[in-house]
Structure 1
C-alpha cells in the first residue's frame, strides 16, 4: 500500500447473513397533474409559499386520527341536534343550527330566551335534556381537542431543543421517502445521524433521530458541518441538492459528500466541480437496478463503491454449474469477486469472510455469497473465468528445513500437490510448472520471504 491509496474494508458482523432477506425498492416518480401544476405555480410566489405552507400544516393536522374523530363526532351531533330541534320543538332551521352549535360548545343560558313560561311537563323538559346531553358531549370533545393542542404546543417547544452534534456524525439532508430510508438504515447500524428537512415530518417517522426543520441553508451551521463525517444530500429538488452540496463543501471539504441528482449532464458537471463527492443519479441507479434483475434470483442487495454499483449475489451450487469444482481462490481471482459468506452442505452455520485457501472445492449443495460487479456476474453466468497467467520462480533456499517448509507453503497456496512442490525445491533454481494468479503469487512471495527464500513471480 502507498500514501493516498483508497481502501475499502468489510466489517465482520454476525448479522451479515440476515441482510440478504431484505428487499429494497427505489421510490417511483409521480406523474404530474393539474393540481401539481397549480402548486408549482404558487410555490414560485412569495405569498403562495406561505399559503402552501399553511395548506400543508392543515393537511398534516387533519390526518391525525384523534382530530378526525373529534370533528366527525361534533359534526354528526350538530346535524342530529338540528333535526331534533326543527321537528320536535319546531325551531327555525337557522335557530336550530345556532342552538345545537352553542350547546356543543358548552353553552347553557344562551339558548334559553323563551318568552312564554312553561311547566316541567311542557316541551321545555325535552329541550333541557337535549342541552344537558349536548353540553356533556361538547365538554368531552373540547377537552380532547384542548389536550391535543397542548401536546402539539409542547412538541413544538421540545422540537427547538436540538442537541448540537460534536464530531464524526452523519447529516442527512432531505427526509423524503428516500431520505427516511437512508436515515433508518444508518440508525440500525448505530451511526450518529442528524436529519434536516424543509417541512415537518410525522412524529412516528424516525422518532429517535435529532431533527431540524426549516430552510436547509440556514440550518447548515447548526449541525456542525466542520466536524461531520459525511453529508448526504437527497432532497427532491436537484437545484437545492447542488446549492446545499456546494455550501457543505465550502465548510468541510474533507467530509464524504453524497449528492442525489436527476439529470445526467448535471451529474457530470457536479463531478467536475466536486471531484471527491459521490454523485448518484436516480435514473442511472434505477436502470442498474433493473439490469441487476436480469441475473434472476441470485441478487440479494446492491451498493455503491468506487463510482460503480456492486451487487451482492448468492449462489447455491448445483451439478453442472459454472462454479462447481472450483476452489474459493479460483472463484475470487478468476471472476474478480469477493466471497463474504461460505457454507458447505455439511455445515449448519456459514463462515463469514472465509479464507480463500479452503482445502475443499465447491460442491453441489454449497452456498456462497459474493460481492461482484455486472461484468463479473456476466462472466459467472457464461463460465468465462480468467485463467492464471503467472508462475513462481525460486532461486535458492537457506537450508534443508526451509526447503521442506517452503514446499508445504507452495503446495498450500498454489493448490498443487506436495510432490510437485518438493520437486521444485530440490532442483533449485527452478520454475514451478503450475500457473497461478498474480494476487495468489504475491501472497506466496510474502510468505516465502519470511523464511529467506529468494523467489520471484514471472508473468506470461
Structure 2
C-alpha cells in the first residue's frame, strides 16, 4: 500500500514501543541511531529481561507498567504519538493493546508483531493505518539457507516477481538484477561495493528454469529416502550375514562351472534348485559336486530365516511408523533444537524443501510440536545439551544442526556438545549479541550465527516511520533491505538521475514506478531523472536506507 511522506512537524512527534524483548531493544536502537527519533518504551521493569539495556539508551523515556493498558498509554502520551509498535509474544494481547491505542489516537500508525500472519492479514484491515510483521517469518529463511549451506534466503517475492540470492557464477548474466556483496572476506563482507562487478553474491530473477532443477532435487531426495528406508530395515548385522551367504552362493556356482563339468547356465540352474531345496543326492556325483551341493543347500536353508526376519521387521516398522511417526536411523537430515516461534517456521520450510528433519525441545507443549506431528516429523523431548539426546537424534549422520532456543547459553552448549560428537558437523547458531557471535565463530569454529532480532529490527523500524520494507537479505551477520521509496516534491531525490541516487546513497535501484504508470520497470535507465510521485524499489544497507528516506522528505513538510 502506498504511503504518504511525513510532514516535517510530524517527524518530531515521538514514537512508542511496547516490549522488553531483544527485538524491542534492537528496534529502539535502530529508531534512535538510524532515524534520529525520540522513543518512549513501555515495559514491565527496568531490571528484567532487556529492560536495563533499553533504559541505558539515550533519548529513551521508559514507562514501567505490568501491561500496555490505557493507563500506560496515557503516561506514554500515545494521544500525541506518531506511531506505536506492540512487540509482545501473545498475538491476542498485541491486538488488544492496538485496539486500546486506536481508541486513544485514531490517527496513530500501528506496527504489530504477530506470529499468525493469516490472522495478521485479516486484523490489519480493522485499523486505519497498520503494518503487521513477523520477526520469525523474516528470520526463518536465513536459518534454513544456512543449514543447507547457502548464502541468504533462496527466494524473495517482490511486487509480483520472484527474486533470489545466488552466486554470480551460478546464474546467467542476463538474469542478474544487481550485485549485493563481495563475500571474499567471510568475516566482514563488503555490502553493495562501489565496483558492482566485484560482487560475488547477486540478486537475480527467476525464469522458470528453477522448476526443472527442483524436480531433479525432488527425484534425488526420493532416491535418498529409499536408501534411508532400506538402511533402516537391513541393519548392519543382517546385511553382513546376507552378503556372506550370497558370496557362498557365487562360490558354489563357480565350483559347479569350473570343477563340476557344468556350463555356466547349468551351474546357475543347479545352484538355484539346490537353494530351493530340490537337490537330488546321487552317489555317482563327483566329490567336488557333492561338497558344493551340500554347501549350497545349507546356504539356501539359512537364507529363508533371514528373508523372513527382514519381512517381519519391515511390517513391524511400518506399523510402528504409522502409530508413532517415522523411526530411525536417519541420515543427511537437519537437527533443529528449539521448536518455538522461529523453530516451527524452520522445520516447516525444511519439510517443504524435502529435507528430512528431526526436532528437539525440552518442552512437550512447544509451539512446533503439533506441526511436527502433523507433518510426520520425529521429535525428541529432552535436554539438547545432553550427549544422549543428540545421539538419539542421530546427530552423527546429520547434515547440519540448527539451534533456535531463545537463550544464547543453551544454544552454545548444545552446539559444543554436538561438535564433541562430530567435529565436522555444520552448526547454525542463534545468538543475540553480535560481538559474542563473532567471538564464538572464531574461537569455537562455529560455522554460522544468526540473530532473529538483528534480522527483523530494520523492517520494524522502517514500518514505524511509514516506509515499506518488502524484504530482507541476510549476508553473514548483516542485512540488506528491499524497500519502496517515494520521491517527494522538492526533496533530495527530486531531479536526480537513477545513477546519481546510487552514487550518493548506499543503495541499488532495482525498480522504478513512474508517476504516470502503474507497472514497475525492473530495468530503469540509469539516466532517468526522478520527478515527484515517482517511486523507487531499492536494495539498501541499513544506513543507506536511512539516508535515502531522509532525502525523500520535502523541506517544507
Verify same fold: TM over 0.5.
Answer: no
State the structure with bigger RCO (CA 8 A, min sep 6), 1 or 2.
Answer: 2
Superposition TM-score tier, normalisation by shorter sequence: 0.3 to 0.5
TM-score by length of 2: 0.36
Q: Please say which structure displays the higher CA radius of gyration.
A: 1
